[in-house]
Structure 1
């Protein structure tokens, strides 16, 4: 059992070249991504054995998406197909004081057809040692919620480590489910919480602030409400402007608080998927290092993702370790 399993929508991103607005351009670049996909591909780039489960359009676009996943060694054998089109989103990449702008078109995507009977969880989790989910999937559709829950119930029975990134996007919850109740239900089957005070406030109904003290207090309440969760990890982003951010990580495990130093990102190429890069780096780190080294690895992986166009972090373990060793000058590798 050595496979990391991710479950969620595969989505296509369309963007004008460089930092143009749509009105400035008649050329678009496309990338494949999706929160859980980004995590899976990044872990595969670190050398992990990854399976991604989804429902993808049964057309040439879906064929291309599956080929993209397989290019990185991601197992797609449990992915099913649909006659509905792949979900897409449109992104204008900001710069300096102009922020990114996103518009989604995913309400009637192929993934919206996903239902529990379409996934054989016994087969899908046969070789699984780690299962990762995010709050995007139960937000998209009722079938996504029920299918995910079925997988989580089985994962808990099997004693599989389960990381939860309960990312809350208010604009995605359109089918009538209560986000707090739904995410709380799924957290009962999870062991690692990847999220900050905002995510904890959403499931706790609290209003803690962003300070370390509030993070710890919220963490204490979260661990009490969800006894299966053992550790909480958070990525802290400090924006100077749209092109310059700082990234660090912090943790609460019920007994100890730890925090890393900042990684300074002075020129952002693309910040989409940087939270996913953190989650992937953290998961890889927790499987291979101690907690603090895992936090550092996740933060460094997130920082490096800001240097790549597209949704995915293409960094290797050696490249992340190079950053951790303080080699941040960007000098040529010869």
Structure 2
């Protein structure tokens, strides 16, 4: 594997312990994460060579965040300090019939002031073979969009594989940029699309349904619209309730449609970062296996993340492979 590069905000997550609401507790736990950072750390846990590009606060919290990232072997040389505070989000973890609830405090964060001149993309992309981005980052600020766009253009010139997870969250796009227009610009430089019919509909302005047939048709139109995109991978979640989910995945790689079997997660410990775990598993898998096995690896990695507290997937390659081999009993290993 070459060097994998991720770009996005570093956040602190604050939660009451267990499944309590904030009003029930004055004891909280904190974790560091962020969509793209979660992907990078997971790939590093698989043994990958990863660099993360971001900004953190110039204070003790920023220093602790950097120390946290470094312990996984992630290169932090392209993370700069800002006088603004680190972004924070507050999470109440739901259970059974009660959904989880998130509230963000990131509009004036360290990362929100990022601009193209603050990132030396030439240096940041050195030895890079893969760049991953998501739709969270360009939604945060005009500077974040411009910085990402500059990085994608250079990465494409340098021949990097560029994976896009254009997660659309309407509540984040508040600075005046049209989301569809922005994502269209960014996808023109991307090669692997990680998303389903919802994301394709948001980008194309279409109304495809969720059947496998319509997924294939939507993927074909996406690739026709953005010829640089070669493959489309979709993670499918079935939620029986907040604590019991099923995960499977499907793909269209330009020549064939494939779909994995459901993985049953009967007790969700923490679902935050599970989509990021899927992306990380896919990025790792596509450099090791064929498209279908890479998707199976990603789906199993995603399922395992539901068993870890915090934003990051701590699963190893061997643990993921054990799931793929059918070992889902959870029996004690000695």
| Fold-level similarity (TM above 0.5) | yes
Partner of 1:80: 80
Deviating beyond 6 angstroms after TM superposition, the runs of 4 or more aligned structure 1 residues are none
Aligned to 2:102: 102
Q: Which residue of 1 aligns with 2:205?
A: 205
Which residue in the other structure is 2:56 paired with? 56
Distance in 1 (CA, whole Å) between partners of 2:211 and 2:68 is 40
Structure 1 match to 2:140: 140
Q: 1:142 deviation in Å?
A: 0.6
1:1-334 paired onto structure 2 within 5 Å: 2-334=2-334
SS of equivalent residue, structure 1 residue 54: strand
1:157-211 per-residue CA deviation (whole Å, 9 max, x = no partner) reads 0110000000000000010000000001000000000001000000000111111
Deviations 1:127-172 (A, max 9, x none): 1000000000000011100000111000000110000000000000
Q: Displacement, 1:333? A: 1.0
1:275-312 Cα shifts (integer Å, max 9, x gaps): 00000000000011110100000000000000000000
* Cα shift at 1:254: 2.0
Q: Per-residue CA shift, 1:97-130, capped at 9, x if unaligned?
A: 1001000000000001101001111111111000
Alpha-carbon distance between aligned partners in 2 of 1:136 and 1:99, rounded to the nearest angstrom: 21
Show CA shifts across 1:35-56 (max 9, x none): 0000000000000000000011
Q: What is the rounded CA distance, in whole Å, between the counterparts of 1:211 and 1:58 in structure 2?
A: 48
Q: Distance in 1 between matches of 2:45 and 2:24?
A: 35
TM-score (norm 2): 0.99
Q: Distance in 1 between matches of 2:138 and 2:249?
A: 26
Number of matched pairs: 334
- Residue 68 of structure 1: SS of its match in structure 2? helix
Distance 2:124 2:107 in 1: 26
Distance 1:329 1:219 in 2: 35
RMSD: 0.7
